[in-house]
Structure 1
Amino acid sequence: MLIDTHTHLYSEAFDEDRQAMMQRAIDAGVTQFFIPAIDSSYANAMYDLKKTYLDKVHLMMGLHPTSVKDNYKEELAFVVSQLEQKEFVAIGEIGIDLYWDRATLEIQQEAFRFQIQLAKKYKLPIVIHCRDAFDEVFEILELENGDELFGIFHCFTGTLEQAKRAISFNMKLGIGGVVTFKNGKINTFLDQIPLTEIVLETDSPYLAPAPFRGKRNESSYLAYVCAKVAEIYQSSTTEIAEQTTKNAEAVFSKYLRVH
């Protein structure tokens, strides 16, 4: 049993074969799918996905940092309105991305803090997106640190020191296809991180693991991530699947208790 803690199953990339793709994932042992938000333009596609896969798909709500533009206050108001109307399992994906646009740093920081505070209000985990912005993300986490702050550091690609710092803020590390890349680097120190501190993800349709690198990713490929993690920890895929599933369930325990 595997849990894909981060997969954009509503993406247009799956419009032609979504049902078959989902069945491949289920056949590969992926039992639960956690779906991050991007912005309001994807909301209806997310809700349609949930209706189709009611017991397997779990939705997050939030504003992705690359969608923090001039209209970000309207987008944040949309996030607030959805949280008032519907039930979500996390606030995400949120964070800071300086790869595409450094000019929006200030409003990205504002949006990130605002959404962390929403997570605290609703007692939900956060799911962090961080690209070229570890210092900036850690600065916000330091300001918001406390027992109510917890979640997942999605697609973790930092150093061992940064991994330990992320964990110190009650974050699990989201491990995906990058762990299978020859230049991914995380594979060189991952076994120094306790297995209790990681969860598995695909980030489909992005970041497909080897041997599919450069192609469309899908949730069934989580099995390849699991196999690589098992190799790194010199463990069995069964043990990795069991422990990372427990870890994911711990993060999303409020939702799982309610249901």
Structure 2
Amino acid sequence: MIDTHAHLYASEFNHDRDAVVARAQAAGIEKILLPNIDLDSLAPMLATEAAYPELCRSMLGLHPCYVDSNVKQTLATLYPWFERHNFIAVGEIGIDLYWDKQYQAEQEWAFIEQLNWAKALALPVVIHTRDSMSETLALLRQQQDGQLKGVFHCFGGSVDEANAITDLGFHLGIGGVSTFKNGGMDKVLPHLDLNTLILETDCPYLAPVPHRGKRNEPSFTELVAARVAELTQLSVAEVIKVTNHNAKSLFNLN
């Protein structure tokens, strides 16, 4: 399995990261993809990748929750890193209007700027969206010229939203929310094309049932795979085979 979205570099893992990685490998995790969030996460992320070079691959981007009035300087500091390191994606980027809308204009500017990075670098994008699906889709429709590809990570929306995303050529990242009793994905996943799905944990956040409310980790990807299999009436082996293929193709992991 491939955990396509894991903050394995987060401080929540500082006391037992080796053990977490060992559990992941014992569970059959072959790759863990690390999304960047801001300037401060860059060093621990790259250190984690260096510690587990066969397992981890890093992305580079500015998470919308870390966008502020200094966003242009922040992006100007981040972008040169693409020349210094082989990142697999631009991410995680997007729009988050859950907490407040103070920097909505800056978030939208940063989103478009980083989509342009992806075009220039021929890299996929990893999109974070919270309380902002219509805004994110509207901007993506404007910017999609056939060059953009990527994933809406931690997807928990409707069938119509899923179709809007896949119509734009994007994948859907399925994680722990799919296992939540009131997550709503039991009514959505049966209608999705497995060829558009990839698996993720978003650890240490959003742990799947029966670990909900506790620290998430990459080994729990198997619980997500089992839930997708249950809701799509496919075998776990088929779900893993197809989602692995999707992830390897999207992030050029072969």
Smaller-chain TM-score bracket: over 0.9
**Which residue pairs with 2:101 in the alignment?**
102
In structure 2, distance between residues paired with 1:228 and 1:125: 26
Q: How far apart, in 1, do the equivalents of 2:98 and 2:224 lie?
A: 25
- Unpaired segments of 5 or more residues in structure 1? none
Output one character per residue of 1:117-138: Cα deviation in whole Å (capped at 9) or x when no partner: 0000000000000000001101
2 CA distance for matches of 1:155 and 1:72?
Answer: 24
- What's the counterpart of residue 252 of structure 1? 251
The unaligned stretches of length 5 or more in structure 2 are none
- Taking only aligned residues, the RMSD between alpha carbons, in angstroms, comes to 0.8
Conserved 8 A contact 2:174-2:198? yes
Aligned length: 254
User: Using the alignment, how far apart are the partners of 1:43 and 1:36 within structure 2?
Assistant: 9
Structure 1 residue runs of 4 or more that deviate by more than 4 Å after TM superposition: none
The equivalent of 1:171 in structure 2 is: 170
Secondary structure at 1:162's aligned position in 2?
helix
1:127 aligns to what? 126
- TM-score, normalised to structure 1, is 0.96
Separation (CA, whole Å) in 1 of partners of 2:33 and 2:188:
26
Map of 1:138-217 to 2, 5 A cutoff? Answer: 138-217=137-216
Where 1:95 maps in the other structure, the secondary structure is strand
Is this contact kept in 1: 2:69–2:103, CA < 8 A?
no
Offset of residue 69 of structure 1 = 1.0
Deviations 1:128-160 (A, max 9, x none): 000000011011101111221100110011110
Deviations 1:80-110 (A, max 9, x none): 1111221100000000000012111100000
> 1:23: which partner in 2?
22
TM-score (norm 2): 0.98
Instruction: Tell me the percent identity.
Output: 43
Q: Deviations over 1:16-37 (max 9, x none)?
A: 1000001001100111011000
